[in-house]
Amino acid sequence: MAGSSTEHGRGRRAQPAWSPPAGSEPCQLRLYNSLTRRKWCLPS
């Protein structure tokens, strides 16, 4: 265990690449109204 520090949770895990769902426009800013519980997507 002295040489392999990435196998047993001591190293950083690689995060899978994220992609937006199909058919959705990319948002630059997301707004959430906690009073009405509505989510808004504000394109740039």
pTM of the predicted protein model:
0.31
Q: How high is the mean pLDDT of the chain? A: 74
Phi-psi region of 10 (alpha: psi -120 to 50; beta: other; left: phi over 0): alpha
C-alpha angle 9-19-10 in degrees, rounded to nearest 5: 5
Q: Which residues contact 38 (CB under 8 A, 6 or more apart)?
A: 32
pLDDT tens digits along 26-38: 677 888 888 898 8
